[in-house]
Amino acid sequence: METVSALWGMLFLAVVAVSCRKEALSPRALEEIQMPVSEDITSVWFVDSLRGFATAGAAWVRGHLLSTEDGGRTWRLDTTVVNRLERVRFDSFGVGYAVGLHGLALIRWPSAPHWYTFRTDYNWHRSAFFWSYRHAVLVSGDGFQGGLVRKLGPEVWYVDTIHAFANSLYDVWMTDSLVGFAVGLGWVLRTEDGGRSWHRQLPRGDSFCSVHFPSPQVGYICGRSGTLLKTTDGGRSWQTLRQGASTGQRHQPFRALWFASEQRGFLVGDGGLFWRTDDGGHSWIPLRGLPANAYPTNVFALPNIGWISADAGRVYRFEY
């Protein structure tokens, strides 16, 4: 009898193991795009399914801004600057913004052919969120330390407030003109007054590198050691969907996430890591196609189509 019970137990465990295993799938289409620069492509942003923009560069050497008008199949070089650029985003008015090393911050007005520098300083801007051309939050960090949050406004060249933190900050997202989140090395910060003040939230223990809210109430954060967090109450509280290793160790080397809806999202990371979820981050499916020597830097998705930026002048366009 004990032998039969043991056999049934082993069979049950085997069935559970099989049901929990996620086989790698292929996206409907995935292709590497030829880019006109060889430096790391650090971010992509599309204002619609055809018109997109990308940042690139090498630290202390040069930076680039690129654009496409055919859905990312071909790209042209728009502007070259003196240092690496990290992030590009557009506001709801069609104005573009890019930030990077050496405190670079650039702006592109709708229909303008080039980007224009509106401020520089001596900090490494990692990310920015502009909800209008008058108001923005910039986050900075040098290596693992020297975290700064700048609230810009009422004009882009005017610094309203600066907050300093011990560790680097890597990303920022505003759900509206008052509520926003900044993440970094062991930090998740929340503001309720447009970036003038910030308080630290409970999540700790990872180098949080990417934050995205597909809606004002639902948001996600990933960490470089494999942590994945989710909120369903506008960031007042966070649940741990996946616990990563301790800071400094590698469990799953996540780099960035993006959710096309509250339920469907994508994760990218070192070594060609490319995952998709269809149930709000509770389960993930590995996707084939990225080479093992690819080190993604960011991901952006619209309904049915997305783009991944990566090292060494690489961009990948995928359909799903």
Give 191's strand partners.
180
For the entire predicted model, the pTM comes to: 0.90
Of 243, 261, 259, the residue nearest 251 (C-alpha): 243
Q: Give pLDDT, residue 2.
A: 39
Q: Given a cut of 60, is residue 18 above it in pLDDT?
A: no
Q: Give pLDDT, residue 157.
A: 76
Q: 196-205, long-range: CB within 8 Å, 24+ apart, which pairs?
A: 196/151, 196/160, 196/161, 197/161, 197/163, 198/149, 198/163, 201/235, 201/238, 202/237, 202/238, 203/227, 203/229, 203/238, 203/240, 205/244, 205/246, 205/247
* Tens digit of each residue's pLDDT (9 = 90 or more) over 65-96: 999 999 999 999 999 999 999 999 999 999 99
Q: What is the mean pLDDT of residues 230-254?
A: 84
| Cα gap 64→79, rounded to integer Å | 6
CA end-to-end span of the chain: 50
What domains does the chain contain, in order, with CATH numbers?
28-319 (2.130.10.10)
* Tens digit of each residue's pLDDT (9 = 90 or more) over 140-161: 998 888 999 999 998 777 899 9
Banded pLDDT at 251 (limits 50, 70, 90) = low
83 within 8 A of 125, measured Cβ to Cβ: no
Q: Give pLDDT, residue 193.
A: 97
Q: Look at 251 and 280; give whichever has higher pLDDT.
A: 280
Q: Given a cut of 80, is residue 122 above it in pLDDT?
A: yes
Banded pLDDT at 22 (limits 50, 70, 90) = low
Q: How many Cβ atoms sit within 10 Å of the Cβ of residue 26?
A: 10
Q: What is the mean pLDDT of residues 251-266?
A: 93
Q: Look at 49 and 1; give whichever has higher pLDDT.
A: 49
Q: Given a cut of 70, is residue 101 above it in pLDDT?
A: yes
Secondary element (H or E) of residue 8: helix 2-20
116 within 8 A of 135, measured Cβ to Cβ: no
